[in-house]
């Protein structure tokens, strides 16, 4: 909280007055009544409209023999009384502070802080105010930044005014915060010549540079619809560049940027092309070098680089095996990871990493600094604690274009295994798999059959499923009945991994996977007893699972399969014990009977259908075979006689 001396004035009318607007009261001292009147009228926002009130506007002027710069803020309200012509009128309460005082304090001043301080005053007497001003709140300002604010800031650097339209529904408070946020996206020194208003009348001649209005002025101003994606026609390249640069800053980075821009207090003039051009270049490459280009002066403190810039530098350090530099960058990156990272930030970073893959050279394979980097990186990219799904994401994000599973850096894998919680066995399985068979066996060795199957079902991850089935196959040896029994029991308990397979695999692959599972569990063609046991506990098994059973069915098991399927279906439909169930059973018996009567019925059916029984071999064939034998014998006899 800082305190500033502020001079003040009230522009308006006394009730029943026939006069025009004038300064009806003001503080004594540095600024005269006439000066107040001149500057207040010069920075009018246009004719009062009741819906636009209360209206807050800022202004600037130079006073005194030395042309000392001042910064002003006004609040316009409508009183209950009328003027002498019975018309409504506005009262404008105005405070102004010396620019030198504003920038000399420990903290600069936001428009909101000035407004809130003004609202506390009673505008009586003739002594200047001692305003209690809130400190410059970068976080609050950054929180008000949206796409419109970024675009408005960029467009202001073209030198033309910006008029925000289609925002009539916003409260005056929200509009003021927006104006403050736009100013905060530019070097603070520009406030020195920035007049803003929460509402202007575009038919009125005014010199407000940034404002809200119903329609934009006819000439000279950029029309900026509120929260619209489309850029204005003829969007100038330098503005586009600045907007793009601003878009790169999110979360804490944006707070830092606002704070940094807030330190650039040297007076800047929007009408000065060189000042605007310098500001347009300001954000380019601000990360690595101490900024000295701006206005030819060095800034108070070095700005913190964005996370993307840090990642870029880390990537370079790793590529050049600069461990020491990487260590220093790790510290900065870790600080960011400890701060607030939004989901949008994480997405942005992941996109950056995909576009800029990080491949440590061989000589850094065992580097603890690189491992630390990857650990910090993972904290930035994924919400802790990590899960198997994150590992999948990681393969996409960090595996490069071909998503090379075994091309991942050991340091990365080590970092991942460190971050994955014990409660994420599927992730640990994946990590171990990526680390190599030795690691995988170690992890698998401590897992029971039931845990294995449970992990496969829970993770619904293709690679985990593959690992589990392979391990089950290894354990279920025919020579080890106990191992076989354990695997079979675990598969049954976990519904033969149906949930995992059906959610991962398409139809054909599903059948093949179920085949694997069933074979691992039984190691033979399925008997009728096996089929009944498998299907007994499964309600509504998927059709792919049934097909898999059929592919492994032993001879004479069709009746068992059909009866079991029918029984399961009837249980599911709730028709067990009904006449329908009896009819189904009778039908199945008839279909599956092998007696003569059955053969006779089939023969009659075939005759009716015009189908005769095919002979095992035709007479012509027999004749040809006999002739062949005779010919061969005759030939052999002739050869023997000739020899």
460 vs 468: CA distance, rounded Å = 11
38 binds other proteins (CB under 8 A): yes
Question: Cβ of residue 207: shortest distance to other proteins, in angstroms?
Answer: 5
In the complex, what is the shortest distance from the CB of residue 91 to other proteins, in angstroms, rounded to a whole number? 12
Binding mask 616-635 for other proteins (x = CB under 8 A): --------------------
Q: Is 131 helix (H, G, I), strand (E, B) or coil?
A: strand
- The continuous run of DSSP H or E covering 6 comes out as strand 2-12
**Regarding beta strands 162-165 and 222-225, do their DSSP bridges make them parallel or antiparallel, or are they unpaired?**
parallel
What would the two tokens of residue 315 be? 């990537």
- Shorter beta-carbon distance to other proteins: residue 273 or 623: 273
How far, rounded to the nearest angstrom, does the alpha carbon of residue 249 sit from its chain's CA centroid? 15
Which range, of 146-154, 208-216, 466-474, 523-531, touches other proteins by CB under 8 A? Answer: 208-216
Considering the complex, state which of residue 22 and residue 551 has its C-beta at the smaller distance from other proteins.
22
**Selected binder of other proteins within 5, 32, 33, 82 (CB under 8 A):** 82
Nearer Cβ to other proteins, position 39 or 349?
A: 39
Which residues are within 8 A (CB) of 596 and not within 5 positions of it... i.e. 6 or more apart?
A: none
C-alpha dist (Å) from residue 299 to 255, 264, 457: 17, 7, 58
Cβ atoms of residues 60 and 193 within 8 Å? yes
CB nearer to other proteins: pick between 87 and 402: 87
Query: Cα dist. 233→222, 230, 605 in Å?
Result: 9, 9, 81
Of the residues 75, 90, 546, 561, which one makes contact with other proteins according to CB under 8 A: 90
Task: State the Cα–Cα distance between residues 443 and 271, nearest whole angstrom.
Answer: 69
How far separated are the first and last CA of the chain, in Å rounded? 128
Cβ 2 to other proteins, closest distance in Å? 30
Q: How far is the CB of 67 from other proteins (least distance, A)?
A: 14
For residues 8-27, which are near other proteins according to CB under 8 A?
18-22
556 near other proteins, judged by CB under 8 A: no
Interacting span for other proteins (CB under 8 A) from 84-92, 143-151, 475-483, 507-515: 84-92
Q: What is the spatial distance between Cα 83 and Cα 92, in angstroms, rounded to a whole number?
A: 15
Whether the CB-CB separation of 189 and 175 falls below 8 Å is answered with no
User: Interface mask (CB under 8 A) for other proteins, residues 124-163, using x and -?
Assistant: ----------------------------------xxxx--
Q: Which residue has the tokens 């007497």?
A: 125
* Member of 28, 42, 580, 633 binding other proteins (CB under 8 A): 42
Window 156-185: residues binding other proteins (CB under 8 A): 158-161
Please answer whether residues 464 and 434 qualify as being in contact, where contact means their C-beta atoms are separated by less than 8 angstroms.
no
If the CB atoms of residues 16 and 509 are measured against other proteins, the closer one turns out to be: 16
Size of the site for other proteins (CB under 8 A): 54
Contact window for other proteins (CB under 8 A) among 36-44, 60-68, 119-127, 382-390: 36-44
Shortest Å, Cβ 184 to other proteins:
20
Q: Cβ–Cβ contacts within 10 Å for residue 575, how many?
A: 14
Nearer to other proteins, 203 or 328 (CB): 203
By C-alpha distance, which of 51, 48, 101, 47 is closest to 72? Answer: 101
Distance CA 436, CA 419 (A): 18
Backbone angles phi, psi at 162, to 5 degrees: -120, 130
Q: Which stretch binds other proteins (CB under 8 A): 75-83, 323-331, 372-380, 392-400?
A: 75-83
Q: Using CB under 8 A, which residues numbered 392 to 451 contact other proteins? A: none
370 SS3 class: helix
Interface with other proteins (CB under 8 A), residue from 54, 89, 248, 533: 89
Residue (212 or 374) nearer to other proteins, CB: 212
Residues 266-305 that bind other proteins (CB under 8 A): 271, 273
Q: How far is the CB of 369 from other proteins (least distance, A)?
A: 48
Residue 67 as a binder of other proteins (CB under 8 A): the answer is no
Binding of other proteins by 206 (CB under 8 A): yes
Which two three-digit tokens encode residue 47? Answer: 């004719």
Q: Round to whole Å and give the CA distance between 526 and 552.
A: 6
Contact with other proteins (CB under 8 A) among 72, 236, 259, 305 = 236
Gap between the Cα atoms of 411 and 402, Å rounded = 19
CB of 518 within 8 A of CB of 534? yes
CA–CA gap between residue 67 and residue 539 (Å, rounded): 89
Report if residue 218 touches other proteins, rule: CB under 8 A.
yes
Comparison of 280 and 348: residue with beta carbon closer to other proteins: 280
230 binds other proteins (CB under 8 A): no
DSSP symbols for 319-347: HTT-HHHHHHHHHHHHHHHHS---HHHHH
Instruction: Enumerate residues 362-391 that contact other proteins by CB under 8 A.
Output: none
Among 217, 295, 427, 521, binds other proteins (CB under 8 A): 217
Q: What 8-state DSSP symbol labels residue 246?
A: H
Q: Which residues contact 308 (CB under 8 A, 6 or more apart)?
A: 248, 348, 349, 352
Q: Which residues in this chain contact other proteins in the complex, by CB under 8 A?
A: 18-22, 38, 41-42, 44-50, 80-90, 158-161, 195, 200-209, 214-221, 233-234, 236, 271, 273
């Amino acid at each position: 909280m800082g305190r500033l001396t502020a001079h003040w004035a009230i522009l308006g009318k006394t009730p029943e007055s026939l006069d025009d607007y004038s300064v009806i009261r003001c503080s004594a001292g540095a600024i005269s009544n006439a000066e107040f009147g001149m500057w207040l009228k010069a920075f009018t926002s246009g004719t009062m409209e009741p819906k636009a009130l209360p209206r807050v506007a800022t202004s600037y002027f130079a006073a005194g023999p030395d042309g000392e710069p001042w910064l002003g803020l006004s609040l316009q309200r409508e009183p209950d009384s009328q003027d002498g012509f019975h018309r409504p009128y506005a009262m404008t309460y105005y405070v102004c502070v010396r620019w030198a005082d504003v920038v000399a304090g420990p903290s600069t001043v936001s428009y909101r802080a000035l407004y809130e301080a003004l609202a506390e005053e009673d505008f009586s007497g003739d002594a200047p105010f001692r305003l209690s001003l809130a400190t410059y709140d970068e976080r609050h300002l950054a929180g008000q930044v949206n796409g419109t604010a970024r675009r408005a800031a960029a467009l202001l650097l073209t030198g033309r005014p910006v008029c925000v339209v289609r925002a009539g529904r916003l409260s005056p408070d929200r509009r003021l915060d927006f104006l403050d946020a736009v100013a905060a996206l530019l070097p603070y020194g520009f406030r020195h010549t920035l007049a803003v208003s929460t509402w202007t009348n575009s038919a009125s001649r005014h010199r407000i540079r940034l404002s809200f209005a119903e329609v934009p002025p006819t000439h000279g101003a950029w029309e900026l619809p509120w929260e619209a994606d489309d850029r204005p026609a003829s969007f100038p390249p330098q503005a586009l560049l600045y907007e793009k640069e601003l878009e790169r800053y999110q979360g804490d980075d944006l707070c830092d940027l606002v704070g940094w821009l807030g330190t650039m207090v040297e007076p800047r003039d929007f009408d000065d092309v060189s000042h605007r051009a310098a500001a347009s270049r300001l954000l380019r490459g601000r990360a690595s070098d101490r900024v000295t280009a701006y206005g030819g002066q060095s800034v108070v403190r070095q700005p913190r680089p964005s996370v993307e810039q840090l990642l870029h530098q880390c990537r370079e350090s790793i590529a050049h095996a600069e461990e020491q530099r990487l260590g220093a960058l790790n510290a900065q990156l870790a600080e960011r990871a400890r701060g607030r990272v939004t989901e949008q930030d994480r997405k942005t970073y992941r996109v950056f990493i995909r576009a800029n893959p990080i491949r440590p050279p061989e000589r850094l394979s065992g580097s603890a600094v690189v491992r630390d980097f990857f650990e910090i990186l993972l904290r930035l990219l994924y919400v802790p604690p990590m899960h198997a799904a994150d590992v999948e994401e990681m393969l996409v994000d960090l595996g490069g274009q071909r998503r090379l599973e075994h091309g991942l850096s050991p340091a990365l894998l080590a970092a991942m295994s460190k971050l994955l919680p014990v409660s994420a066995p599927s992730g640990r399985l994946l990590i171990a798999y990526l680390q190599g068979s030795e690691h995988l066996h170690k992890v698998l060795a401590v897992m029971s059959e039931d845990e294995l199957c449970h992990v496969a079902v829970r993770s619904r991850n293709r690679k985990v499923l593959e690992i589990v089935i392979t391990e089950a196959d290894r354990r279920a040896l025919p020579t080890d009945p106990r191992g076989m029994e354990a695997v079979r029991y675990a598969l049954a308990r976990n519904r033969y991994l149906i949930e995992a397979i059906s959610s991962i695999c398409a139809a054909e692959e599903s059948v093949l996977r179920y085949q694997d599972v069933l074979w691992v569990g039984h190691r033979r063609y399925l008997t009728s007893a096996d089929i009944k046991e498998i299907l007994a506990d499964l309600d509504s098994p998927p059709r792919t699972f049934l097909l898999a059973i059929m592919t492994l069915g032993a001879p004479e098991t069709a009746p068992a399969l059909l009866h079991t399927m029918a029984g399961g279906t009837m249980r599911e439909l709730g028709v067990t014990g009904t006449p329908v169930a009896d009819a189904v059973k009778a039908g199945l018996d008839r279909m599956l009977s092998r007696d003569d009567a059955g053969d006779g019925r089939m023969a009659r059916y075939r005759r009716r259908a015009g189908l005769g029984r095919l002979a095992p071999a035709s007479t012509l064939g027999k004749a040809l075979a006999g002739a062949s034998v005779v010919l061969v014998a005759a030939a052999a006899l002739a050869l023997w006689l000739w020899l």
